[in-house]
Structure 1
Amino acid sequence: MIDAVSILALALLVLAVVASGVPGVPAGLLALAGVYVEYLFGSGGMTLWLLFSFTVVGMLAVVVDLFGGAVAARGRGASTQTSLLAGGAGLVLFFVAGPIGVVVGMFAAVFALELRREDRSVEEAWDNGLWATAGMLASGVAVFLLVASILIGYLVFVLWFGNGL
C-alpha cells in the first residue's frame, strides 16, 4: 500500500524527470528532495545504502546540469569568462523567452563574446557557440537519464521490493 509520503516522494521524482527537459530547473535537487522525503518521513523501505546511492546520482545530476554547457564550451576553447557569462545569459533569457531563449541565448552569448576576443575568427566563434549549445543540450539528456534512473530505482527498490506496492 502506498502512503502519502510515498506519493509525495514519487510526485517529486516524476516532476524531476519532467523538469530535466526544462533548462534552469534543478531536476537533480527535485529528485534528491523526493528521495529524502521518503527516507526521513517514509515507512522505512529505504536503506542507508540506497539513500547513499541515490544521493551520489542526484548530486551528479546537479553538477552535470550546472556545468555541462560550460564544460563543453571550455573544452572547445572558449574562455571561462565566456562560459560563465553565457550561462548567466541563458538563465536570464529563460525567463524572457522560455527554453528556446536559453538555447538561442547560450549560442548568441558564446558567439558574441568569443568574436570579441582578438585571437578568434568568425568560424571559431561560431564553432564555440555551437559546441556550448550542444553541450548544454547533451547535459540535459544526461540529467534526464540520471534522474530517470533515480525514479526507476525508487519504483523498484523502495516501492516494489520494499513492499510499498
Structure 2
Amino acid sequence: MFDAVTLLALALLVAAVVASVVPGVPAGLLALAGIYAEFLYGDGMALWLLASFTVVGVLALVVDLFGGAIAGRARGTSNQTTLLAAVAGLVLFFVVGPLGVLLGMFGTVFVLELRRDDRTVEQSLENALWATGGMLASGVAVFLLVASMLAGYAVFVLWLG
C-alpha cells in the first residue's frame, strides 16, 4: 500500500499542519522535509512539482517568521519592539501556553510603544493590536499554506502519481 518514505512524508506534512498552530515550531520546514524526503527517496516526483512545493514551503516559512513583525512594522512599531515582543511571547508560551504568546506580544508592544516619547495610549494600543492581529493572521496563512502542501501531496503524488 504505502512504503516507508510515503508514510514519513505524510507524517511530516501532517505534523506541519499541526505545528502551524503552535508558536515557535517551523511548520514550513517540516512540510519541506516531507516533500524532500519523498523527492529524494520516494518513487519519483516531477521536478516541477518539487519546485511548486518548495515555493509554497518557503513562503510558509517566511510568513511564519516575519508575518507579525511585518504587520507591526506597517503601523510604525520599531524593529526592537517587535523582536522583544516575539521573545516575550515565546517565553510566556512556556509559562501560560498559547495564550501567553498573545499576551506577550500585545503587552510588550503596548508597553514599549507607550514608553516612546511620541506615542499616545491610543497609538500604543493600536500598534499592539496590529502586531498581535498580524501574528494571528500569519498563523492562519501558514496553516493554509502547509495544508495546501498536504492536499497537493495527496492529489499529485499519492492519487495521480
- Does the pair score TM above 0.5? yes
Runs of 4 or more consecutive aligned structure 1 residues displaced over 6 Å after TM superposition = none
User: 1:96 offset after TM fit, Å?
Assistant: 2.0
| Shift of residue 85, structure 1, vs aligned partner | 1.2
Correspondences of 1:14-163 after superposition (within 5 Å): 14-44=14-44, 46-162=45-161
SS where residue 23 of structure 1 aligns?
A: coil
Aligned match of 1:7: 7
CA contact (8 A) 1:24 1:94 kept: no
TM-score by length of 2: 0.97
In the alignment of these two chains, the number of paired residues is 161
Partner AA of 1:95 in structure 2: F
C-alpha deviation, 1:89, in angstroms: 1.4
TM-score by length of 1: 0.95
Residue identity in the other structure for 1:70: A
The aligned amino acid for 1:18 is V
Name the SS for the 2:97 alignment partner.
helix
Q: For residue 139 of structure 2, what is the amino acid of its counterpart?
A: G
> Take 2:110 and 2:128, find their aligned partners in 1: how far apart are those partners?
5
Amino acid at match of 2:152: G
Give RMSD over aligned pairs: 0.8
Query: What secondary structure is seen at the aligned counterpart in 2 of 1:118?
Result: coil
Unaligned 5+ segments in structure 1 are none
Supply the distance in 2 between the matched residues of 1:88 and 1:36 (Cα, whole angstroms). 31
Code of the aligned partner of 1:86: A
Cα distance in 1, alignment partners of residues 122 and 49 from structure 2: 48
Counterpart amino acid of residue 62 in structure 2 = V
Q: Alpha-carbon deviation of 1:87?
A: 1.2
